[in-house]
Amino acid sequence: MIIDFHTHFYPYPYLDELRKGGGYASLEQDSSGRYIIKYTGDYNILTSPLVLLEDRIKEMDRTGVDIQVLSLTTPGVEREPPQRGVKLAKVTNDAFSGIEKRYQRFKALATLPMQDPGAAADELARVYKDLGMKGAMIPSNVSGVPLDAPEFQPIFDRADKLGALLYIHPTSPMNTARMADYRLVPLIGFGVDTSLTVLRLVLGGVMERYPRLKLGASHLGGVYPLLKGRIDLGSEVYPETGVNITRLPSEYLKNIYVDSCGYDSSVIGFVQQWLGSSHILLGSDYPAQIADPAAVARVKPLKIPDGEKEQILGGNAAKLLGIE
């Protein structure tokens, strides 16, 4: 079974709420008749795969994907006023749950109103217990606040107790200075922000406090796998890095799931040599403009046993999602 763990979708109830206006994001129509989600500094054009499940199924059949894991993409809900963010999260998650029940070929990761950590923790518990969803995709920062900030501890505490997965996906980086040109935010900013967030969760002691926490990071983890040696050496020479941890940073980092959306088989192979095959999930970022159409094909050249390729292509995701 091949499971694409990293794909994005806008369910209609979420779009209907945006259409009402009054929040951070809005749904509008341009002069060409295209529907566009507008928000501060950016916009998303609603291409058919972002809103039509049947179009996605055709692409899945073409690429040999059995199941896609749906998640909301930018602008998300965390930049909305708290009450609106909570409503948008519930509407989105209920819609995802309905899709899961109607279609055997789709699973979903919940979205959480991170601007209200208590409500986010409660929503995670609701979707896990009542809707059967096994985790949530969370942004790499919340309006510039890093995830290791004390206010977000209730979310990690609840995820740990539930056994739910928290999967980090990049959003507008905490620091975009000098990234406005050449589309540097998606080219490198997203990967840097993801890595910065993961490393803060490690050095901030979140993974020390919650050793069983299921944590994931998209896009092969960003850049931290390539910097693991520097990070470990730095932890031995900079006393500040060891205040909240008792082991080398790489020992915590190796427990984080990553998806294979790295666009290069040799890079995927490097990460696999470090992590092993048990913590890598197939990911394409479909249907983003920078999605990888060859995601499945990139796994096949890896010089690992076929059984380990099967883990990456779907076995690991099936365990996380409770698929038998």
Per-residue pLDDT of the chain (324 residues; tens, 9 = 90+): 999 999 999 999 999 999 888 888 889 888 888 898 988 767 888 999 999 999 999 999 999 999 999 999 988 999 999 999 999 999 999 999 999 999 999 999 999 999 999 999 999 999 999 999 999 999 999 999 999 999 999 999 999 999 999 999 998 888 777 888 888 888 888 899 999 999 999 999 999 999 999 999 999 999 999 999 999 999 999 999 999 999 999 999 999 999 999 999 999 999 999 999 999 999 999 999 899 999 999 998 999 999 999 999 999 999 999 997
Q: Is residue 296 part of a domain?
A: no
Q: Is residue 144 part of a domain?
A: yes
Q: Give the Cα separation of 92 and 110 in Å (integer).
A: 8
Q: Give the Cα separation of 253 and 273 in Å (integer).
A: 14
Which pLDDT does position 207 carry in this prediction? 96
Which pLDDT does position 232 carry in this prediction? 95
3-state helix, strand, coil in the chain (%, to 5): 45, 15, 35
Cβ atoms < 10 Å from Cβ of 23? 19
Strands (E), 72-212: 106-108, 135-139, 141-142, 145-146, 165-169
Buried b or exposed e, range 4-16, using 16+ CB within 10 angstroms: bbbbbbbbebbbe
Cα–Cα distance list, 88 to 11, 16, 27, 44, 71 (Å): 11, 10, 14, 17, 13
Q: Is residue 148 part of a domain?
A: yes
Q: Is residue 56 part of a domain?
A: yes
Q: Give the Cα separation of 113 and 309 in Å (integer).
A: 35
Say whether the peptide bond before residue 301 is cis (omega within 30 degrees of 0): no
Strands (E), 225-305: 257-259, 280-281
Which pLDDT does position 179 carry in this prediction? 81
Q: Is residue 125 part of a domain?
A: yes
- How many Å is the maximal CA-CA distance in the chain? 58
Gap between the terminal Cα atoms of the chain: 10
Q: At residue 118, what is the residue type?
A: G
- Which alpha helices (DSSP H) does 103-227 contain, by range? 117-129, 153-162, 184, 190-203, 206-209
Q: Is residue 311 part of a domain?
A: no
What DSSP state is assigned to residue 155? H
Q: Return the closest-CA partner of residue 226 out of 202, 278, 191, 200.
A: 191
List residues bridging with 28 in a β-sheet: 36
Q: Give the Cα separation of 250 and 102 in Å (integer).
A: 41
List residues bridging with 67 in a β-sheet: 3
What residues make up the domain containing 196? Answer: 9-60+72-98+109-261
Which pLDDT does position 184 carry in this prediction? 85
CATH of the domain at 211: 3.20.20.140
Q: Is residue 103 part of a domain?
A: no
pLDDT in tens, 197-211: 999 999 999 999 999
**Rounded (5°) CA angle 64-317-267:** 75
Q: Is residue 114 part of a domain?
A: yes
The total number of structural domains that make up the chain: 1
pLDDT in tens, 37-78: 988 767 888 999 999 999 999 999 999 999 999 999 988 999
